A and B are shown apart, each in its own frame.
Chain A
């Protein structure tokens, strides 16, 4: 089955700096790569996703890049704000979702 690895497990950045979280996957047939944000005491919420026919996607301060050849994809958050502090999960999917183990992001004011 698919294996998704996510790094780093924890990340601290100063407010206004950028944050990058990276994931790798093993199954070349995976074709959908969502990113979720989970705030304390809440369920994961989709923040951005990308399909395998696209290399990059942006939504305001958030962007995702996909390198199918290398089988890795990354989440980029620019101009970080304290409310970006949360746990972020990547996933890779062809039908079933396989999740990374999460990155706890702390934005220091």
Chain B
């Protein structure tokens, strides 16, 4: 079974703090993703990575950065946390796109609920 783990289930931080959210997957997946989940808005893509040291912006990258130094680990960084970054953060991983741009299943971690005060 695919396992995606996230370093914290709950985090409370203060405005202006630097926040690191860690994600590790054990299935040797090339692709990793960071989403935030907010009521009524569903899941929105922040950043994704198709390979080590590679990153691409998603739909809402402002205020975030990422790091992928190892294949199994993908970190989300909030350089200076703000209250509007209070949210549930979900990490996911998948194999690469299949033939003819065929999308592949994404497997999610349990999420980190971040509260910024």
Residues of A within 8 A of B (CB): 1, 4, 6, 9, 31-32, 34, 36, 41-46, 49, 51, 89, 93-97, 99-102
- Contact yes or no, A43 B42, CB < 8 A: no
CA distance A101 to B90 in the complex (A): 15
- Are A100 and B90 neighbours in the complex by a CB distance under 8 Å? no
Q: Is B78 interfacial (CB 8 A cutoff)?
A: no
Q: Are A31 and B108 in contact (CB under 8 A)?
A: no
Residue pairs across A and B with Cβ atoms less than 8 A apart, 5 shown, are A42-B110, A43-B111, A46-B106, A46-B107, A97-B103
Q: Give the residues in chain B near A42, CB-CB below 8 Å.
A: 110-111
Q: Which of B58, B59, B90, B103 contacts A44 (CB 8 A)?
A: B90
Interface size on B, residues (CB 8 A): 25
Task: Give Cα A9 to B40, complex, Å.
Answer: 9
Minimum C-beta distance from B100 to chain A (A): 8
Contact B111 A97 (CB under 8 A): no
Instruction: Tell me the bound Cα distance from A45 to B110 in angstroms.
Output: 9
Which of chain B's residues have a CB closer than 8 A to the CB of A44?
A: 43, 90, 108
* Contact, CB under 8 Å: A34 / B105: yes
How distant is A15 from chain B, measured CB to nearest CB, in Å? Answer: 26
> Which residues of chain B are near A51, meaning CB under 8 Å?
102
Please judge, given known A-B contacts A31-B102, A44-B90, A95-B103, whether A36 and B108 are in contact too, CB under 8 Å: yes
Name, among A6, A9, A45, A93, the residue most crowded by chain B CB atoms within 10 Å (CB to CB). A93
Which chain A residues lie closer than 8 Å to B33 at the CB level?
97
- Of listed B4, B42, B48, B97, residue having the most chain A CB within 10 A: B42
Out of A6, A45, A89, A95, name the residue touching B101 (CB < 8 Å).
A95
- List A contacts of B45 (CB < 8 A): 96-97
Q: CB of B109 within 8 A of chain A?
A: yes
